[in-house]
A and B are shown apart, each in its own frame.
Chain A
Amino acid sequence: MANDTQQVLTAHTGQPAVFEEARDPVTRRAFIKSVIATGAVASTGGLMLTGLSGCSDDATPAAGSVERLVTLNINGKSRPVDVLPNESLAMTLRYKLGLTGTKLACDRGECGACTVLIDDVTHNSCSTLTHSVRGREVTTVEGLEQPDGALHPVQQAMIDELGPQCGFCTPGQVMSGVALLKNNPSPTREEVREGMAGNLCRCGAYDHYLNSIMRAARVS
């Protein structure tokens, strides 16, 4: 392997001399040095990024992990489900219980798109282990609509005020709004702004979401 490395690098020493005279040749030399230092020429594999909360319908368990059957309380219903030890609530909801209203946008607790209520308190379901919610009440966006189709006041207000744009952050915004009004039924606009601050929206629909929550507070 050392020989291979040498050959590869040799191929790059034949730069035109004029390059060496250019204003800042450090970059190229520093790069090659860093390659030698880290042995990256014969790198194994690629860039490794975020952790995974992987699972699937017909999961072949990864080495050392075994699914366990647990019973969860989701939207008032008892839901038995096989869960890996490292499985996030968002993945269980989305890939095992068919509740795809909960969105994954960052998978690391930065954006609030996966917000659900656990015992009426907002949580980022991407960063909550499913095993930790046994015996607790989980509410997702799918749990807000009444059987007769009546929407939660926050949802209805979001239709009336045209709260969403693209809609991807909307379920998280809805859940944060619902939790906020449970704790503070008559908030000021500033309190709603502070309370919703954990939910990012790239479309910048913040003003419209604030209007929606304020309207929901008025009518409920």
Chain B
Amino acid sequence: MAFKHIGKNFTPPDVRAKVTGKAKYSEDFRAEGMLFVKLLLSPMPHAIVRNLDASEALKMDGVIDVLTADDVTNIPEPQMPILTNHPKYVGDPILAIAATSEQVAADALEKITIEYEPRPFVIDPLKSLYPGGPDVHDSGNVALFRGKAESYKWTARDFATAGDDELPRGKPQGEWERGDVDAGFANAALVLDETFVVAGHPHQSMEPRSSFAYWENGKCYLHASSQSHTFNVPDYAKYCGIETEDLILIAEYCGGGFGSKGTAYPIATIPAHMSKKVGRPCMMRVTRAEEYFLGSRRNGFQGNVKLGFSEEGRLIAADIYVVQQSGSNDSFPDYANAGEALSLVYTPEAMRWKGIPIATNTPPTGAQRGPGQNQLACVMEPLMDKAAKTLGVDRLAIRELNAPTDGTTFGGRDNTLSSAFLKEAMSQGAERFNWEEKKNESGQRKGSKVVGIGVGQAFHPGGSSGFDGLVRIAPSGKVHIHTGVGNLGTYSYASTSRVSAEVLGCSWENCVIERGDTRRHLPWNLGQFGSNTSYTMSRTNYAGAMDAKMKLLEIAAMDLGGAVDDYDVGDDKVFSIADPEKNLTFAQAAQRAIELGGKFSGEEMDEDMHAITKASVTAMAGTGLIGAAKDKYPSNGLPPALATAFIKIELDVETGKYEVLEYVGTADCGTVVHPQGLEHQIRGGGVMGIGMAGLERIVYDPQNGLPANIGFHQAKPPSYLDVPAEMDVGYVDLPDPTNPVGARGIGEPLMGCAGAALLSAISDALGGVYFNRTPVVPDMIINALADRPQSYKTLEVSSQ
């Protein structure tokens, strides 16, 4: 299929504003009479607020009001509250204060007296699982995503049996099994049995989640930093305590999210509640330090994985147990995703997964780019190397032998794939990297530098379906493509909008993307998270544009004679295939749609669309030709996002530091929609992966529950100098059969494969030292080189 727009580069409409400083993020808006809101944060890791006295603060000049948990919508635990009387981590917001200046608000916070009743707290999940160990939530320590909390305790015997260096394995929260696992291990030529830790690490979006709100005529205008748009409107309305139609969400630009701004987060509505109370616009500037509390982080893992291989390196059996460090809110299911990813990427013939997420008195966690899948990649890829080297098999060959194909089934329910080209991605990457020659450099020594060669792979689901597409052809002839997906910064909101232009055969210059503000009549779309946009929104926009196209053809047949099939669209016209001179311009057709009314101009519409879409269509009814439809195209299996990475490092055996000299990332994301945007994702994911594997972790003082790294300097997002000056990219570009343009998503595994490849390269440089711990930092490398014990216990988390 030859495309006019798909697969071509273009200038996304929002990039000029980004380079000129005109792009307005949440903290860039102002309003007459605006107040500043500051938060009072818990100094304790776990406490109950017994008494709160703000009277002295309220007497100060310029202080307008305070807001406490009693003033805002109650969100029941274990979900994140807006404000709380039961702080569950150091940094949990208890109270907000509004003043005419931020300095006054900050000074006033010091006048507030609070009596806290401390409660036992827990940083290490295993300590919560001890008999009698502390629970973060009133109702327990296992809080399921969007669910309730229950208390799980393991027995003293569970702990005693394991000893200090093995994962105790009591009752899991979830489990599944496929095939005969025990028989698989019995038949294996090699069995690896490994205990591992993956540190949680913060999202560190460059834009702190400042928000700004005011009320006019009963409607709340909320400027929140949001990856997603329409998908978050119902939750934000709920948090504000109003009906969906009374919330105007403005989120045209988002300064990075990586999962942390994918769904609505309650604290964004603090200025809305304050503004309602005081009757003035309120700006809440979130500081960088606060962002480390409020800005989410990846779930940490403590776990064990047992792998049984045949002599050739085929993975016969796998058994994994994941204990997840979930922070103080309901748990994103990273621990379950890790099991699914193991089953899908390495296709073990038999497999068992068990897992449990444990709440800890640390800040709320959430989905971060590849939640679970990327931790799993960092655990598994070095172990695939270990198996390959032990069995004398090539490191690429063992991966190829176990890679998924179109017919692969995986997980506890024999799930299937829509298509999979991981092998193709890997062989393309190997060629670009020149693996065959480069692998011979492994362990080569020059002075104090030793070469390491690494390879990694990763997966994330890459799409969804069932959302609504919406286009309007105006009497001017312009095609307005309405997208409610959000603008995370990947440009996929724009590249998937080009699918509408593709279907309508119109020039891109004739298209206008309507987005970023509820008042622009947006349809119900999935959020911009989970590597789904390229797949989901290309289907969605295809559906909306096809509806418009059918209406164009009907109008042409009606007015110009003949049947619908006699007409086609192109060059901003609907024309007769036999005689292209017989045509209507889009402008003429839109005018006719208005005259015809009914379904043509949005007075009537498909009932199966979401209420939000229907409201948008109704609002625009009679203003042009309206195309609006729900994506009901068939699906067949999970559309995967798959990626591989190759890395060459030089590791200094005297300092434990290394330099990443070469990077090649390759993607299997079906048909490429936007090459430049894809290249950005491959490289950017690579940078984040290098951070995950070598730099980033949360660190807590286990005695007092205090965070040790709440600044960029300590939390270490990678800089220009931590990554190669040039990063090479490639992509398979084979179509997925379940998407009308062949596209699948890709964003997330591009990070996991890079992190895994770096860990693989470090282990390679060290001649086969496998840390079973992420990140690997220089002091670990030095200890390993000097044959000294490491400074941490095998299962220790967050404290080294």
Listed in ascending order, the chain A residues whose CB lies under 8 Å from chain B are: 4, 8-9, 11-12, 15-16, 18-24, 27-28, 30-32, 34-35, 40-50, 52, 54-63, 65, 84, 94-95, 98-108, 110-111, 113, 140-142, 144-145, 151, 155, 158-159, 162-171, 174, 189-190, 193-194, 196-197, 199-208, 210
Contact = CB atoms under 8 A, between A and B. Distances in A.
B300 to A, nearest CB: 17
Contact of A203 (B132, B684, B702): B684
B649 to A, nearest CB: 17
B613 to A, nearest CB: 27
For A35, A42, A194, A207, which residue has the most chain B Cβ atoms within 10 angstroms?
A: A207
Contact of A202 (B50, B62, B91, B204): B204
B127 A165 contact: no
Contacts of A95: 30
A41 B117 contact: yes
A162 B677 contact: yes
Interface stretch (B37-45, B406-414, B592-600): B37-45
A107 B15 contact: no
Contacts of A144: 20
A71 B745 CA distance: 52
A64 B688 CA distance: 45
B723 A167 contact: no
A166 B121 contact: no
A170 B19 contact: yes
A42 B683 CA distance: 50
A69 to B, nearest CB: 17
By size class, the interface of chain B is 35 or more
Contacts of A168: 25, 205-207, 253, 255-256
A200 B683 contact: no
Contact of A15 (B33, B132, B712, B727): B132
A199 B53 CA distance: 43
Contact of B703 (A27, A62, A202): A27
Contacts of B21: 99-102, 140-142, 171
B100 A56 contact: yes
A100 B721 contact: no
Given A31-B703, A106-B711, A140-B21, A48 B206 contact: no
A15 B287 CA distance: 38
B489 A104 contact: no
Interface in B692-736: 702-705, 710-713, 717-721, 723, 725-727
A151 B721 CA distance: 28
A31 to B, nearest CB: 6
B563 interface: no
B25 A103 contact: yes
A208 B30 CA distance: 32
Contact of A19 (B16, B131, B256): B131
B113 interface: yes
Given A151-B20, A159-B15, A110 B132 contact: no
B674 to A, nearest CB: 9
Given A43-B114, A56-B35, A63-B107, 13 more contacts: A18-B131, A28-B120, A31-B705, A34-B703, A45-B109, A94-B27, A141-B20, A151-B19, A159-B11, A165-B684, A170-B18, A189-B725, A202-B717
Contacts of B687: 203-204, 206
Contacts of A50: 287-289
Interface of B: 9, 11-12, 14-25, 27-28, 30, 33-36, 39-44, 50, 61-62, 90-91, 94-95, 99-107, 109-123, 127, 130-134, 156, 159, 203-208, 253-258, 285, 287-290, 488-491, 676-677, 679-680, 683-688, 702-705, 710-713, 717-721, 723, 725-727
Given A31-B705, A141-B20, A162 B131 contact: no
A99 B28 CA distance: 9
A27 B19 contact: no
A27 to B, nearest CB: 6
Nearest to A113: B206
B287 A107 contact: yes
Nearest to A206: B720
A133 to B, nearest CB: 18
| Chain B at the A interface: SS class | loop
29 contacts: A8-B117, A8-B118, A12-B119, A15-B120, A15-B132, A22-B132, A30-B703, A40-B43, A40-B44, A43-B114, A45-B40, A45-B111, A47-B91, A48-B109, A49-B710, A54-B103, A56-B34, A59-B101, A94-B27, A101-B21, A105-B255, A155-B20, A162-B491, A165-B256, A166-B205, A199-B720, A203-B256, A204-B683, A208-B679
Given A100-B28, A166-B256, A31 B116 contact: no
Main secondary structure of the interface of A (DSSP, over half): loop
A46 B41 contact: yes
Contacts of A62: 101, 103-104, 107
Contact of B42 (A46, A100, A174, A196): A46
B106 A12 contact: no
A162 B204 CA distance: 22
Contacts of B720: 193-194, 196-197, 199, 206, 210
A30 to B, nearest CB: 5
A19 B43 contact: no
A111 B34 CA distance: 28
A108 B711 contact: yes
Most A-side CB within 10 Å, residue of B9, B30, B117, B203: B117
A38 to B, nearest CB: 9
Contacts of A27: 122-123, 127, 702-703
B287 A54 contact: no
Contact of B680 (A61, A158, A162): A162
A67 B44 CA distance: 37
Contact of A162 (B12, B35, B94, B289): B12
A55 B102 contact: yes
A49 to B, nearest CB: 4
Given A167-B253, A168-B206, A204-B686, A31 B114 contact: no
B41 A49 contact: yes
A103 B207 contact: yes
Contacts of A43: 43-44, 114-116
B722 to A, nearest CB: 9
